[in-house]
């Protein structure tokens, strides 16, 4: 209980006192804060103080002494005066008036004179309102539709270049979408009108669009362009003062910016050609050292299907796959699609081999390559051609197939998945997920033997493949091109491995291009069935083996297998006699270790029958001279 002499107890209201009731200090007020009385000299301090501390700096930083005439229950104010006490106890002990910093301090304009800034904003809003009204006035008429049709220079080619100088727009006093005073929805309205008038009503699909010389400084007015013109294949943006690469991201679909392989609505999936000649960001990039490669990389990151850039054909390997955009469907059409039973033409198939020779070489390669990849990667380098390219990519997108449900159901039986950071941090050909944005950084070469070995051992995670279980593997092999010793074989190996030390399961697909190892090469001397020209490894989340396991079937959950009435005939590529002899010589060399000369002689003497030649070799092995193995 407080006594009358306790310093924390207020004095009697009958006697004058300068002390007040002590209240708990707020945690954001420092202990060493002093009491100050507000006057004009404190304005600089208050202007720099946080708004939540203004009143504490003024009257609340510890004990406050008011005028001698004040009573203990009178409330101090921010101006140093005293407010009379009230009958409300909460009001008497609640502290000073909660005057905000905005009310306490004079207003400070951010820049320039506020009245001028306000006038400019009002003037611009009025201009936009006027333009909005003028645009609405012509939208329902036939004149603007005729103007759009006049902009068609040929079937599917729309020329919307030079709109700031267009006579019809000037005549109607309508600003082009690129103008700063144009309505923010002008672009949306324009592209929607093009879709309605030319594509839907006229039945013409726009595939080429020119937007050159339109004074675009950004692409805000083009955000809805992919939605209205999803089939566009070529766009010309030449001579627009665009400053940044980031503006191009406004044209990408929702999933494109994250590298998702989805036909998202509103993306330019069909785009194959772009022109940016004269654009500021292009000219600035080309002036920098290595700017040409950076410029091309930035464009391809956003538009991976591009084949022609600024009128120049890109040197790219692109599969002949039509990139169809995703378009909206009406509810009736969607219901018809859902009601239609889903049918596959064929069921799950095992690995494909163009011929027996291609299959044997591919299987022999796998038998030698993957044990070394798991245990001793240094011995792999001899199997690569000196000019070979090696790359790794990671794709963390999960499977959307019905078979993925079966994989998820077995998740508890496997070690938990671990982070993909070790794969994503590698220089990767997946420009969206890799550490480097340049494709050249992702390509490794056996010419740099020490650098390649260090990358394999220090950066690429160690693995363990199921070498003893053939059901975990799928191998596709076919002849790529060439004849005789120049024949190139493509092998695509799909399977699974465990990443060490986490033991997490991953699915992989490895594509290699093989060629006959030249006489005297390290690949031939090391017993490789062929030399590696290209090696591309892609790491995926674990998908299981259902995609190539013939014991599984797609015919479930209402899905049927309905083969077409006639399947196209597949004719194996012809292998001439000389090419077949080369393959037999290579196989005999692998089994016997003899050089080309003695292997050829052995096959000739046994009628080019591989099994008979090998059997006779075993019988006379002890009598074969040493030079046969040199």
The CATH code of the domain that includes 598 is 1.10.8.10
Q: pLDDT tens digits, residue range 375-392?
A: 999 999 999 998 888 989
Average of per-residue pLDDT values in the chain: 77
Highest mean pLDDT among 432-436, 499-503, 521-525, 542-546: 499-503
Is residue 334 a part of any domain in this protein? no
Residue linked to tokens 């989340």: 541
> In a 3-state reduction of DSSP, which class is residue 112?
coil
pLDDT over 50 at 262, yes or no: no
Between 100 and 155, the more confident residue is 155
pLDDT value for 60: 44
Ranges 90-104, 185-199, 284-298, 437-451: which has the least confidence: 90-104
Phi-psi sector, 166: left (phi>0), alpha (psi -120 to 50), beta: beta
pLDDT in the model for residue 9:
42
Query: Are residue 252 and residue 180 in the same domain, yes or no?
Result: yes
From the list 152, 228, 149, 146, the residue with the least C-alpha distance to 195 is: 228
Distance separating alpha carbons of residues 600 and 293, to the nearest angstrom: 49
Helices (H), 140-270: 142-150, 167-171, 186-194, 225-228
Q: 392: which strand partners? A: 537
Burial of 493 (0-12, 13-18, 19+ CB in 10 A): buried
Final residue before a domain boundary, out of 50, 80, 108: 108
Report how far residue 335's alpha carbon sits from residue 541's, in angstroms, rounded to the nearest whole number.
33
Q: Are residues 547 and 585 in the same domain?
A: no
Q: Give the residue among 507, 478, 472, 506 at the shortest CA–CA distance from 491.
A: 478
DSSP assignment, residue 353?
A: B
- Whole-number Å distance between alpha carbons of 267 and 418: 32
Q: Can you give the pLDDT at residue 71?
A: 52
pLDDT for residue 371 is more than 90: yes
Percentage of the residues of the chain whose pLDDT score is greater than 70: 72
Q: Give the end of a domain, one of 313, 333, 364.
A: 313
* For residues 411-438, average pLDDT: 74
Same domain, 550 and 590: no
Task: Note the pLDDT of residue 569.
Answer: 54
| Measured distance CA(38)–CA(50) in Å, rounded | 16
pLDDT for res 571: 52
Residue 160: predicted pLDDT: 93
pLDDT tens column, 466-479:
999 988 999 999 99
Report the C-alpha gap between 233 and 269 in whole angstroms.
Answer: 8
Longest dimension (CA), the chain: 133
pLDDT for the residue 347: 84
Please indicate, yes or no, whether residues 9 and 94 belong to a single structural domain of this protein: yes
- Give the domain range for residue 515: 356-561
Say if CB 253 and CB 266 are below 8 A apart: yes
- Considering the domain boundaries, does residue 340 fall inside one? no
Q: What distance in Å separates the CA atoms of residue 453 and residue 432, rounded to the nearest whole number?
A: 26
Contact assessment for residue 491 and residue 352, using Cβ atoms and an 8 Å cutoff: no
pLDDT, residue 491, reads 95
Q: Are residues 297 and 156 in the same domain?
A: yes
Contacts with 60 (C-beta within 8 Å, 6 or more apart), sequence order: 29, 95, 96
Q: Of the segments 41-45, 355-359, 488-492, which one has the largest average pLDDT value?
A: 488-492
Tell me if 568 is assigned to some domain. no
Q: 174-186: per-residue pLDDT in tens?
A: 999 988 888 888 8
Beta bridge partners of 495: 508
Within a domain: 607: yes
263/269 Cα distance (integer angstroms) = 7
Burial 415-424 (b: 16+ CB within 10 A, else e): eeeeebeebb
Residue 325 located in a structural domain:
no
Residue 479 lies inside a defined structural domain of this protein:
yes
Question: Are 541 and 507 contacting, i.e. CB atoms less than 8 angstroms apart?
Answer: yes
Q: Give pLDDT, residue 441.
A: 63
- pLDDT score at 344: 84
Q: Are strands 463-464 and 488-499 parallel, antiparallel or unpaired?
A: antiparallel
- pLDDT at residue 618 greater than cutoff 50: yes
The confidence score (pLDDT) of residue 602 equals 87
Whether residue 78 sits in one domain with residue 123: no
Three-class DSSP category at 373: helix
**Is the model's pLDDT at 61 over the cut of 50?**
no
503 touches 530 (CB < 8 A): no
Q: From CA 413, how far away is CA 402, in angstroms rounded?
A: 20
Measured CA angle at 129 (ends 125, 135), to 5 deg: 140
**Residues 549, 413: one domain?**
yes
Please state the domain count of the chain. Answer: 4
DSSP element (H, E) containing 82 = strand 82-83
Q: Are residues 53 and 165 in the same domain?
A: no
Range from 272-281, 326-335, 519-528 carrying the lowest mean pLDDT: 326-335
Only one residue has tokens 């005789």, namely 484
Residues 503 and 434 in one domain: yes
Residue 341 lies in a domain: no
Is the model's pLDDT at 89 over the cut of 50? no
Query: What CATH number corresponds to the domain at position 140?
Result: 3.80.10.10
Q: Read off the pLDDT band of 628 (50, 70, 90).
A: confident
Q: Mean pLDDT, to the nearest integer, of 488-516?
A: 93
Do the domain assignments include residue 333? no
pTM: 0.47
Task: Indicate whether 55 and 128 sit together in one domain.
Answer: no
Both 425 and 443 in one domain: the answer is: yes
Domain boundary among 280, 313, 346: 313
Distance CA 261, CA 463 (A): 27
- Helix ranges (H only) for 154-248 are 167-171, 186-194, 225-228
Integer Cα distance of 392 and 254 in angstroms:
26
Q: Could you tell me if 411 and 460 lie in one domain?
A: yes
314 band by pLDDT with thresholds 50, 70 and 90: confident
Structure confidence by residue, pLDDT tens digits, 342-362:
788 888 888 888 888 889 999
DSSP letter assigned to residue 33: P
């Amino acid at each position: 209980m407080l006594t009358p002499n306790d310093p924390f107890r207020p004095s009697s209201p009958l006697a004058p006192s300068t002390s007040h009731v002590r209240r708990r200090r707020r945690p954001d007020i420092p202990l060493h804060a002093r009491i100050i009385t507000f006057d004009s000299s404190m304005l600089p301090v208050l202007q720099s103080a946080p708004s939540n501390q203004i009143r504490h700096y003024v009257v609340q930083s510890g004990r406050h002494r008011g005028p001698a005439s004040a009573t203990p229950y009178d409330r101090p104010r921010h101006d140093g005066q005293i407010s009379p006490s009230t009958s409300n106890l909460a009001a008497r002990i609640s502290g000073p008036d909660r005057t905000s910093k905005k009310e306490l301090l004079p207003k400070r304009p951010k820049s320039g004179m506020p009245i001028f800034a306000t006038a400019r904003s009002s003037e611009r809003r009025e201009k936009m309102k006027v333009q909005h009204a003028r645009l609405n006035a012509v939208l329902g008429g036939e004149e603007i539709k005729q103007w759009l049709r006049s902009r068609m220079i040929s079937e599917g080619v729309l020329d919307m270049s030079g709109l700031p100088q267009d006579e019809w727009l000037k005549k109607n006093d309508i600003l082009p979408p690129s103008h700063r005073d144009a309505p923010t929805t002008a672009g949306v309205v324009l592209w929607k009108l093009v879709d309605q008038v030319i594509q839907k009503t006229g039945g013409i699909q726009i595939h080429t669009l020119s937007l050159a010389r339109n004074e675009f400084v950004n692409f805000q007015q083009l955000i809805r362009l992919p939605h209205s013109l999803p089939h566009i294949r070529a766009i010309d943006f030449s001579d627009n003062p665009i400053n940044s690469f980031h503006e191009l991201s406004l044209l990408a679909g929702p999933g494109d910016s994250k590298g998702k392989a989805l036909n998202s609505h509103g993306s330019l999936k069909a785009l194959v050609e772009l022109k940016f000649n004269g654009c500021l960001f292009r000219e600035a990039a080309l002036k920098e050292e290595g700017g040409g490669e950076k410029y091309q990389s930035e464009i391809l990151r956003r538009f991976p299907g591009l084949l022609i850039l600024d009128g120049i054909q890109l040197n790219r390997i692109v599969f002949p796959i039509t990139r169809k955009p995703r378009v909206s469907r009406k509810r009736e059409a969607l219901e018809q699609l859902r009601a239609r039973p889903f049918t596959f033409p064929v069921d799950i198939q095992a690995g494909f081999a163009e011929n027996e020779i291609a299959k044997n070489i591919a299987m022999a390669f796998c038998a030698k390559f993957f044990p070394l990849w798991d245990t001793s990667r240094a011995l792999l380098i001899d199997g690569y051609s000196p000019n070979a390219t090696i790359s790794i990519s990671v794709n963390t997108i999960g499977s959307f197939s019905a078979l993925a449900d079966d994989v998820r159901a077995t998740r508890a039986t496997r070690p938990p998945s671990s982070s993909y950071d070790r794969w994503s941090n590698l220089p990767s050909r997946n420009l969206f997920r890799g550490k480097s944005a340049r494709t050249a950084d992702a390509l490794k070469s056996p010419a740099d033997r020490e650098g390649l070995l260090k990358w394999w051992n220090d950066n690429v995670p160690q693995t363990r493949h199921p070498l003893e279980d053939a059901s975990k593997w799928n191998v596709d092999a076919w002849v790529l091109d060439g004849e005789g010793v120049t024949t190139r074989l493509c092998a695509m190996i799909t399977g699974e491995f465990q990443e060490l030390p986490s033991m997490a399961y991953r699915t992989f697909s490895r594509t290699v291009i093989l060629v006959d190892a030249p006489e005297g090469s390290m690949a031939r001397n090391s017993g490789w069935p062929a030399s590696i020209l290209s090696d591309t490894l892609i790491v995926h989340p674990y998908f299981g083996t259902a995609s190539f396991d013939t014991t599984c079937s797609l015919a479930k959950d209402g899905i049927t297998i309905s083969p077409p009435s006639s399947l196209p005939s597949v004719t194996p590529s012809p292998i001439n006699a000389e090419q077949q002899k080369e393959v037999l010589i290579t196989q005999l060399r692998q089994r016997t270790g003899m050089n080309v000369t003695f292997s050829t002689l052995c096959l000739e003497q046994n009628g080019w029958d591989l099994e008979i030649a090998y059997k006779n070799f075993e019988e006379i092995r002890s009598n074969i001279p040493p030079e046969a193995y040199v």
